Homo-oligomer: A and B are copies of this chain.
Amino acid sequence: MTGNESGRRHTRDDVAETALRILDDYGLPDLTMRRLAAALDVQPSALYWHFPNKQTLLADLADRIVARGVGVPSADPATGPGLATGPDATAWPDRLRAESAALRDALLAYRDGAEVVASTYALGLGDSAAQHRLAAAAASGGFDAETSDRAATALLHFVLGHVSHEQQRMQFDSIGVLATGEAADPLDVSGSAAAFAFGVDLLVGGLERLGDQSRSGSLSRSRT
């Protein structure tokens, strides 16, 4: 299905896609070079012709996971009915919220997706597509580049942290059925989404407030 079934010779793309399948089916701890090699019917050493090391492979996966999340505007029906505005005319706070939600969806689409992207981002590897998309959304609000970048970084940290936590909890729940009578309940699915929206609203709201302040010229004290 990946394009190479048993023809024995692989491309970098084959390797990455097979890795992505192992990740999604068995999780990050089970995504080892040796397991990946076995899935490709190849010796572990063969992988090092395609990728210099494991981190580089993971960075590639991270980029694919994030990139696969474009074109999904929000998947959230709460944006309101009949707004009928052009895609460019959307108010920037909504664009920022939509971009954050799309990123969350992208991360949730693969098991341990958030952790893969977070660790890659922490190591400074990978294209920074997520960061750039968020920064562009912020910049559409008229903020200068540094402010947009910092807001994007703050949002990204929150999103990665939140979804990592969320995914950790998902596989924890799926294993131990919890001995504590109360159970983990699927209510938490919507609870997680609400908590996510709340965090995003806090950051976007903070940015809106910052815009209001500079517009009314009440910058209490300029920072040294």
Contacts and interface: CB of A to CB of B under 8 A. Distances in A.
Nearest to A123: B168
A77 to B, nearest CB: 10
Interface stretch (A63-71, A98-106, A150-158): A150-158
A61 interface: no
A12 interface: no
Interface of A: 78, 115, 118, 121-124, 147, 150-151, 153-154, 156-158, 160-162, 164-165, 168-169, 172, 194-195, 198-199, 201-210, 223-224
A71 to B, nearest CB: 26
A172 B199 CA distance: 30
Interface centre among A78, A160, A206 (most CB of B within 10 A): A206
Contact of A205 (B115, B124, B160, B205): B205
A113 B160 CA distance: 18
A121 B165 CA distance: 8
A59 to B, nearest CB: 14
B203 A124 contact: no
A165 to B, nearest CB: 6
A223 B165 CA distance: 24
A153 B122 contact: no
B165 A122 contact: yes
A138 B145 CA distance: 30
A51 B222 CA distance: 51
22 contacts: A78-B223, A78-B224, A121-B165, A122-B164, A122-B165, A123-B168, A124-B168, A150-B198, A151-B198, A153-B162, A153-B195, A153-B199, A154-B199, A157-B162, A157-B199, A158-B158, A158-B161, A202-B202, A202-B207, A203-B206, A205-B209, A205-B210
